[in-house]
A and B are shown apart, each in its own frame.
Chain A
Amino acid sequence: MKVAAETIAPLTSKDTLDVGRIRADFPILNRKVNGKPLVYLDNAATTQKPSVVVESLRRYYLEENSNIHRGVHYLSQKATEGYEGTRKKMRTFINAPDAHEIIFVRGTTEGINLVAHSFVRERIKPGEEILITGMEHHSNIVPWQIVCEMTGAHLRVVPINDKGEIIMEEYEKRLTPKVKFVSIVHISNSLGTVNPVKQMIEMAHAHDIPVLIDGAQTVSHKKVDVQDLDCDFFVFSGHKMFGPTGIGILFGKSEYLEQMPPYQGGGDMIKSVTFEKTIYNDLPYKFEAGTPNIAGVIALGSAVDYINGIGLDSIYAYEQDLLAYATAAVLGVDGLRIIGTAKNKSAVISFMLEDVHPHDIGTIIDAEGVAIRTGHHCTQPVMQRFGIPATARASFAVYNTKDEVDALIRGIDKARKVFQ
């Protein structure tokens, strides 16, 4: 990547994205693993953290540590400002209409569970249906199974085709009057498929069915506009977008959040408490019981600033270019088959190598310093759909390079040699 060295303004197109400068922001990328430079290709599991995010955690704990929303003293106000400041940044980040529609949760998993219990379980009746797709992460399957068990509702699944795309006619067919909720993944973590969620939401809304979008794999790769999508809920995790673990976001439309009972009870989520009657707090606090992950929220704000500094449009263009390069490169390997060949894909490549089990590939290329994930990626039904036990998966982020793709290929070649 060539770029004028003096460019300081946000980088705006693929030609000007300076990956060298971005890599310098992630100290971990300089380390060695097994004596080789680390090539980190497990970004779908969690991304690395830039120094600004770590610095933000450090500063909070060493200089500003205090509880929020409950003190008149200086530090408490400072912490509250940082915490609520991130809420405003998150509102802008996904273009939510109002900051009180941004609820801080532990991550995607907790966001989905919150909606499952406070929204869907409250309204669904025996015999009614919840609709998901065949490529969901376990965190968008199991909460619905629990709700079904508790209520007598049924879970229905939209099948996927051999490329790993949702079969839209089958989706249409399953949108019957029995369906009371639809929950779909935007980008599949094991296949890389980008689902046509805007169209799918529109189709569900035509039947008055609310829709949740699992955006865990979206937010660090592709711009999200919840108003344009018109989704009713959108959830994602901070740790997959260069932020800390243990913090995530649930966006919900006010009209639904207002009606929903609290998910947990405790401090901060109340207006007044007597033993006779407790009055719940307003949004978003009704859903944020107890002392939250203040440091995590503040550092997540820095992660959003970091992403905005590069620009999601440039990130998307850069990663698509990298994906095209990597796809061509892995297809050049004898006996390699890609699982997940959707037309619209994010920078994730799941693959199988003839006669070499994914687990063995993982171990062999780890010895080369290349970190990929092997296994079912928390999507066992996807593995069953393709009749395979597991895949090896390389998943990319904006700091990855074509040189690193070449290192991946060298690692795969090594695995082939060991087993030839």
Chain B
Amino acid sequence: MSELKTLYQDIILDHNKSPRNFKKLENANRHAEGYNPLCGDHYNIYLRVENDIIQEVSFEGAGCAISKASASVMSSLLKGKTKAEAEELIHVFHKLVTGDADPMEELDRLGKLAAFAGVSEFPARVKCASLAWHTLRAALENKNDVISTEK
């Protein structure tokens, strides 16, 4: 149960229950759709990027607590970031959930994202946590294909 506690952190439960930026962004100029056919998780990510800076971000969709909280926390961190900074965040998050980063060492860079450190103990849930982030990358690159966790 202690491991489980580290997966379902309060931050995660909170963002699952009350997701932030949970709407369609009408004036978005970047958009991508992410889908995990294995569990049905499905999200749209919307961005408004101007002068290489993310001005606004939102998402909508449905899925498990891990995927939804991940999308919500992600959305709350992106505003004001450059594309390069966002890419860096994607990279750090990926390292975190696959167990390649020590959350204690990277606490500065991770901030709230550290709540997802427990995911690395649950290999079956890594895809849940990563879905929104893969989709974000696609939106930044302005790819319009549906991003699937199953290639």
Q: A and B: real partners?
A: yes
Closest B residue, CB atoms, query A367: B4
Q: Which of A330-365 contact B (CB under 8 A)?
A: 356-360, 363-364
Select A376's contact among B40, B63, B122, beta carbons within 8 Å. B40
A380 at the interface (CB under 8 A from B): yes
- Asked if residues A367 and B1 are in contact (CB atoms below 8 Å), the reply is yes
Q: Determine the chain B residues whose CB is within 8 A of the CB of A376 once the complex forms.
A: 37-40
Q: Is B11 an interface residue (CB 8 A)?
A: no
Contact A360-B66, Cβ < 8 Å, known A367-B4, A418-B13, A419-B13: yes
Q: Is the CB of B13 within 8 A of A359?
A: no
Per the bound structure, the CA–CA distance linking A383 and B62 in Å amounts to 15
- Binary flags per residue of A124-138, CB closer than 8 Å to B gives 1, else 0: 000000000000000
- B38 partner residues in chain A, CB cutoff 8 A: 375-376
Asked whether B125 is an interface residue with its Cβ less than 8 Å from the other chain, the reply is: yes
CB pair B7 A363 closer than 8 Å? yes
Asked whether B4 lies within 8 Å of A389 as measured between CB atoms, the reply is no
CA distance A419 to B8 in the complex (A): 9
Nearest B-chain residue to A359, judged by Cβ? B64
Q: Is A147 engaged at the interface, CB distance under 8 Å to the other chain?
A: no
Interface size on A, residues (CB 8 A): 19
> Which one of B37, B42, B124 contacts A363 once the chains associate, using CB atoms below 8 Å?
B124
- Say yes or no for B65: interface residue by CB 8 A criterion: yes
* CB <8 Å contact, B64 and A360: yes
- For the complex, give the distance between the alpha carbons of A359 and B68 in Å: 12
Q: Is A179 an interface residue (CB 8 A)?
A: no
Q: Mark B34-60, 1 if CB is under 8 A from A, else 0.
A: 000111111000000000000000000
The CB with the most chain B CB atoms within 10 A, among A359, A374, A388, A390, is that of A359
Q: Tell me how far the C-beta of A412 lies from the nearest C-beta in chain B, rounded to whole angstroms.
A: 14
| Complex: A375 Cα to B40 Cα, angstroms | 8
Whether A389 pairs with B65 at a CB distance below 8 angstroms is: no
Which chain B residues in 100-147 approach chain A with CB under 8 Å? 122, 124-125, 128
In the bound assembly, the distance between CA atoms of A263 and B40 in angstroms comes to 35
- How many B residues have CB within 8 A of the partner chain? 23
- Within the assembled complex, what's the spacing in Å between the Cα atoms of A376 and B41? 11
Q: A363-B125, A364-B4, A367-B4 are in contact. Are A419 and B40 (CB under 8 A)?
A: no
> Contacts A418-B13, A419-B65: A359 and B39 contacting too (C-beta < 8 A)?
yes
B26 within 8 A of A: no
In the complex, chain B residues whose CB is within 8 Å of the CB of A380 = 37
Q: Is B150's beta carbon under 8 Å from chain A?
A: no
| Most A CB within 10 A of own CB, among B1, B13, B128 | B1
For chain A, residues 353 to 397, give those with C-beta under 8 angstroms from any C-beta of chain B.
356-360, 363-364, 367, 374-376, 380, 383, 388-390
Chain A residues near B66 (CB-CB < 8 A): 359-360
Q: Is B39 a contact partner of A390 (Cβ separation < 8 A)?
A: yes
Interface pair B39/A374, CB less than 8 Å apart: yes
CA distance A389 to B36 in the complex (A): 10
* Contact present for A359 and B62 (CB under 8 Å): no
Bound-state CA distance A360–B13 (Å) is 11
Interchain CB contact under 8 A, A357 and B64: yes
Which chain B residue has the least Cβ–Cβ distance from A418? B8
B85-96 vs A, CB cutoff 8 Å, 1 = contact: the mask equals: 000000000000
- B119: min CB distance to chain A, Å: 10
- With a CB–CB cut-off of 8 A, which chain B residues contact A363? 4, 7, 122, 124-125
Give every chain A residue within 8 A of B65 (Cβ-Cβ).
356-357, 360, 419
- A359 touching B128 by the CB < 8 A rule? yes
Alpha-carbon gap, A162 to B66, bound state (A): 30
Please measure, in the bound complex, the distance between the C-alpha atom of A116 and the C-alpha atom of B32, giving whole angstroms: 38
> Chain A nearest CB: distance from B4 CB in Å?
4
What's the nearest-Cβ distance from chain B to residue A185, in Å? 21
The reply to whether B13 and A367 form a contact with Cβ atoms under 8 Å apart is no
> In whole angstroms, how far apart are the Cα atoms of A358 and B65 in the complex?
10
**Nearest Cβ on chain A to B19's Cβ, whole angstroms:** 13
Q: 7 tightest A-B contacts by CB?
A: A389-B40, A357-B64, A359-B64, A367-B4, A390-B40, A360-B65, A360-B64
Name 13 interchain pairs, CB-CB below 8 A, sorted by A: A34-B3, A356-B65, A357-B39, A357-B63, A357-B64, A359-B125, A360-B8, A363-B4, A363-B122, A363-B125, A364-B4, A374-B39, A389-B40
Known: A359-B41, A364-B8, A418-B8. 13 other contacts (CB 8 A): A34-B3, A356-B65, A357-B39, A358-B64, A359-B125, A360-B66, A363-B7, A363-B122, A363-B124, A363-B125, A388-B40, A390-B40, A418-B4
